[in-house]
């Protein structure tokens, strides 16, 4: 009887398992319908750029017929830099992807896909080819808006990228290596990624296979909505390595709307140089954890300067948005309307303070205005194990320091070296006090508390940066 019950139990388990397998299979994402509905809206983009090259010119009587084995060798030695040669046209080509925004012919792609192109041809899934013109292109966001003369085109459905979640399934359709309508799937790996060359785009990171030719193509969610524009990959080999980046659709659409309305893209400007807050710096500034954007420099007469933002402030919130890292601030600033007054919450002297900033337009090559002047001198601080000197006028111009500050001459083993202070650094402030002279630096250093992180602002050739200085108790 007992044996019979065991067999019944095993039979039930087997049946239950068998029934659950199809249910598990059905829970996996199904992309066939999504691809079928949207392939017609995804296009292949080919561009042609006319270049100017120079034709080989040899001494009279030494012409060599094209195609001869020696031809390439002579081209190497006599062209293309030979003076007096007549320019000859040549062409370069590139491939990319794009997608139809509206049935009347508006198309979105990447800026780098169509950059400097003299001719742009878009090819649809039914092999129809049309010439496209560029209505506008923005290098900072890597978004371009094209237009073809056509009606009744199949357009994509646009989604809300702000509702995207890590772990969500996504699908890319594009033309990798020129293979039209290729579909690849994966998940969202991270949100709000900022890359060194793209400060104003909070990228969507995925593990979707993206290769050359996918650039400018759409990234879909499971509802068949475009939530991103595939733009770049991280690779050490040149091929896909499991890390790809897409421009969020809300960022891309903002660019498109500006191109349509005013023909160009404008961005907000705050006028600060910022850095991340480390654990040691968080302690020195009175923060419970490392977060926010630490202001290492304020551009004179900038919106930040006019609002009272100071060097050493930690920006915690911008217009209601919490700033977790320094890289999360530029996208919020860039998308703020020109002339809009917004609240900015900063941590200053271990107390929160709310300021109002009127955002101005970001201009290219915006830089601080710097002047010069000081006297030479040299002193040693044994407690920090550092030798410092007054700045010369030449050094002020070299390091972009208007007034005050001291230059580090030597750094021995000790607290300064552990903090990361280097020879050639210009110390601008110590423990949130502006350095006016070498003697004042020593006075401040003498009174620094032991076993406590102290902020030090230094100016290097690469820019301003905060360091956390900690003196061990004796």
For residue 115, the domain's CATH number is: 2.40.10.10
Residue 163 is classified by DSSP as: G
pTM of the model: 0.65
Name the residue range of residue 199's domain. Answer: 157-262
Q: Mean pLDDT: which of 55-69, 92-106, 117-131 is highest?
A: 117-131
Per-residue model confidence (pLDDT) at position 415 = 82
Residue 169 sits in the same domain as residue 258: yes
Is-catalytic flag, 93? Answer: no
Residue 167 sits in the same domain as residue 214: yes
Residue where the block lists tokens 């309305």:
261
For residue 410, the domain's CATH number is: 2.30.42.10
Residue 232 sits in the same domain as residue 273: no
SS3 396: helix
Catalytic residue among 46, 111, 141, 142: 142
Domain-located, residue 28: no
Domain-located, residue 192: yes
Q: Is 191 exposed, middle or buried (0-12, 13-18, 19+ CB in 10 A)?
A: middle
Residue 300 sits in the same domain as residue 257: no
Among residues 120, 108, 105, 96, the alpha carbon closest in space to that of 256 is found at: 108
Per-residue model confidence (pLDDT) at position 368 = 26
**pLDDT tens, residue by residue, 227-279:** 999 998 887 666 677 899 999 999 999 999 999 988 888 899 999 888 888 88
Residue 134 sits in the same domain as residue 176: no
Domain-located, residue 10: no
Residue 183 sits in the same domain as residue 210: yes
Residue 192 sits in the same domain as residue 211: yes
Sequence-ordered strand ranges (E) for 270-359: 272-276, 293-298, 314-318, 321-322, 341-348, 351-358
Instruction: Tell me the torsion sign for CA atoms 462, 468, 469, 472.
Output: negative
The rounded mean pLDDT for the chain is 80
**pLDDT tens, residue by residue, 338-360:** 999 999 999 998 889 999 999 99
Under 8 Å between Cβ of 426 and 399 = yes
Per mean pLDDT, which range of 201-215, 333-347, 374-388, 434-448 is the poorest? Answer: 374-388
Of 129, 147, 165, the last residue of a domain is: 147
Of 113, 147, 181, the last residue of a domain is: 147
In the predicted model, what is the mean pLDDT of residues 462-471? 81
- Give residues with Cβ within 8 angstroms of 223, minimum separation 6: 157, 159
Domain-located, residue 458: yes
Residue 166 sits in the same domain as residue 194: yes
User: How far is it, in rounded angstroms, from Cα 406 to Cα 214?
Assistant: 51
Is-catalytic flag, 207? Answer: no
Is-catalytic flag, 327? Answer: no
Domain-located, residue 15: no
Query: What's the number of domains the chain is made of?
Result: 4
SS3 437: coil
Catalytic residue among 141, 182, 215, 244: 215
Residue 142 sits in the same domain as residue 204: no
Residue 249 sits in the same domain as residue 290: no
Domain-located, residue 211: yes
Catalytic residue among 39, 104, 112, 207: 112
Domain-located, residue 14: no
Residue 272 sits in the same domain as residue 245: no
In which band, very low, low, confident or very high, does the pLDDT at 48 lie, cut at 50, 70 and 90?
A: confident
The count of C-alpha atoms lying within 13 angstroms of the C-alpha of 243, restricted to the half-sphere facing its C-beta, is 10
Residue 143 sits in the same domain as residue 194: no
Under 8 Å between Cβ of 424 and 460 = yes
Domain-located, residue 64: no
Of 147, 178, 209, the last residue of a domain is: 147
In which band, very low, low, confident or very high, does the pLDDT at 5 lie, cut at 50, 70 and 90?
A: low
């Amino acid at each position: 009887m007992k044996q019979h019950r065991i067999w019944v139990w095993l039979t039930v388990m087997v049946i239950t398992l068998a029934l659950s397998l199809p249910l598990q299979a059905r829970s996996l994402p199904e992309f066939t319908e999504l691809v079928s509905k949207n392939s017609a809206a995804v296009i292949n983009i080919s561009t042609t750029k006319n270049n100017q090259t120079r034709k080989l010119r040899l001494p009279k009587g030494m012409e060599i017929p094209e195609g001869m084995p020696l031809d390439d060798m002579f081209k190497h030695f006599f062209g293309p830099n030979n003076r007096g040669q007549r320019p000859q046209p040549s062409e370069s080509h590139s491939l990319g992807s794009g997608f139809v925004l509206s049935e009347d012919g508006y198309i979105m792609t990447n800026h780098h896909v169509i950059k400097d192109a003299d001719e742009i041809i878009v090819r649809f899934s039914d092999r129809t080819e049309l010439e496209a013109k560029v209505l506008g292109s923005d290098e900072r966001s890597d978004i371009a808006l094209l237009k073809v003369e056509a009606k009744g085109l199949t357009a994509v459905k646009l989604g809300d990228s702000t509702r995207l979640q890590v772990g969500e399934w996504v699908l890319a359709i594009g033309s990798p290596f020129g293979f039209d309508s290729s579909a690849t799937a994966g998940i969202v790996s991270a949100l709000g990624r900022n890359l060194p060359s793209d400060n104003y785009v909070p990228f969507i990171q995925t593990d979707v296979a993206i290769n050359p030719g996918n650039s400018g193509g759409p990234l879909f969610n499971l509802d068949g909505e475009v939530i991103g524009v595939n733009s770049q990959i991280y690779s050490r080999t040149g091929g896909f390595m499991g890390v790809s980046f897409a421009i969020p659709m809300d960022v891309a659409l903002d660019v498109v709307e500006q191109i349509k309305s005013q023909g160009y893209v404008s961005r907000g400007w705050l006028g600060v140089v910022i850095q991340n807050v480390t654990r040691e710096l968080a302690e020195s500034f009175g923060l419970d954890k490392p977060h926010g954007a630490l202001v290492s420099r304020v551009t004179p007469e900038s919106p930040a300067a006019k609002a009272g933002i100071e060097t050493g402030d930690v920006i915690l919130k911008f217009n209601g948005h919490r700033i977790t890292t320094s890289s999360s601030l530029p996208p919020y600033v860039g998308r703020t309307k020109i002339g809009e007054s917004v609240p900015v919450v900063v941590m200053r002297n271990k107390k929160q303070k709310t300021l109002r900033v009127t955002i101005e337009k970001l201009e290219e090559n915006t830089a601080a205005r710097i002047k010069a002047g000081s006297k030479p001198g040299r002193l040693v601080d044994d407690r920090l194990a550092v030798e410092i000197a007054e700045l010369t006028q030449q050094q002020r111009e070299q390091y972009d320091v208007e007034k005050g500050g001291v230059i580090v001459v030597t750094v021995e083993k000790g607290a300064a070296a552990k903090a990361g202070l280097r020879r050639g650094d210009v110390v601008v402030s110590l423990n949130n006090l502006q350095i006016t002279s070498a003697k004042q630096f020593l006075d401040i250093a003498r009174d620094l508390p032991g076993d406590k992180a102290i902020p030090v602002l230094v100016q290097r050739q690469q820019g301003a940066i905060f360091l956390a200085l900690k003196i061990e108790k004796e």
